[in-house]
Amino acid sequence: MTTKQAPTVATWLMKHFGCGPNTDAVLGDLAEQYAQKSRMWYWRQVLKGIPVSIVREALGHKAIAVKAIVTGCIAWFVFLALFPSLVYGFTAPSGPSFDLFHYLAHPLIAWAALWVPVAFSLLSQSGALFLTE
Amino acid sequence: MRKGAYLGQFELMVLLALMRLGDDAYGVTIANELEQQTGREVVIGSVYATLERLQDRGLVSSSLGDATPERGGRAKRYFRITGAGLREVRDARRSLLSLWKGLPELKGER
């Protein structure tokens, strides 16, 4: 008997961006259920499960979440200062709209897209977040 | 445990599912039980997030089971309701029944 192979990319996303002490158990449950479910169901479970686990961990570890956000913003500003041409091209835009975008939107984008999932994923995999476990 | 924190609706549903399932309560069976009883799809990740929160409050306990091939070699995590959890459910039931009492029957009921 062959077992149905779960979508590889979705599994990878859950493994690396899903956080919490039970990510492995969640993946096991998804693999078990996937035998009777569709590919769409699996993706839905992963895409809804990742934000839920991130929010749960962020609320459960507020100090670490704040540090991650601050670090992400600082890293992004340093990156912008060192390599502006990589972000804006060779002609940097100017004016008030640029300032607003620069100072508000970019750090938020950087934080949401990169830092929080990565930081929590790394910390949860190293066990640093779950010392009581 | 947080003093004075009420159980949320989903938390209460998860605790009731644990009570119904007894020793066989893990992610898949809990999600299936909730789906059967509510008729709505349940995200397994949400079930775990809720269980972790309940565990932090001392309302459930968990233990690891065996890894099986159909789970990709990953172990099941079994959950049980604790004495404190049972007390919370009892309190929630009492409060809800008391609030329901005396209300006129809702349209579509029966």
Angle A36-A37-A43 from CA coordinates, rounded to 5°: 150
CB A31 within 8 A of CB A6: yes
Token pair for A112: 């949401």
Residue B46's contacts (CB-CB under 8 Å, 6 or more residues apart) are A48, A49, A52, B10
pLDDT for A121 equals 57
| Token pair 């835009």 in the structure block, residue | A93
Distance from CA of B27 to the nearest CA of A (A): 6
| Residue B78 domain boundaries | 9-99
With respect to residue B57, please indicate whether it lies within any of the assigned structural domains: yes
SS3 B26: strand
Q: Which residues of B touch A18 (CB under 8 A)?
A: 45
- The larger pLDDT score, comparing residue B92 to residue A59, is at B92
Check: pTM over 0.80? Answer yes or no: no
Q: How far apart are CA B6 and CA A18, in angstroms?
A: 27
Token pair for B2: 């947080």
> Which among B74, B76, B78 is the top mutation candidate for probing chain A, defined by the most A β-carbons within 10 Å of its own β-carbon?
B74
pLDDT in tens, B35-67: 999 999 999 999 999 999 999 999 999 999 988
Could you tell me whether strands B74-81 and B60-68 are parallel, antiparallel, or unpaired per DSSP bridges? antiparallel
Indicate the number of domains in chain B: 1
Label residues B29-42 b or e (16+ Cβ within 10 Å = b).
bbbebbeeeeeeeb
Spell out where chain B has E strands: 60-68, 74-81
Report CB contact under 8 Å: A20, B51: no
Q: If you average pLDDT over residues A105-130, what whole number do you get? A: 57
CATH value at residue B72: 1.10.10.10
With respect to residue B38, please indicate whether it lies within any of the assigned structural domains: yes
Distance from CA of A29 to the nearest CA of B (A): 6
Q: How far apart are CA A43 and CA A100, in angstroms?
A: 36
Nearest to A49 by CA among A12, A68, A21, A23: A23
Distance from CA of B63 to the nearest CA of A (A): 11
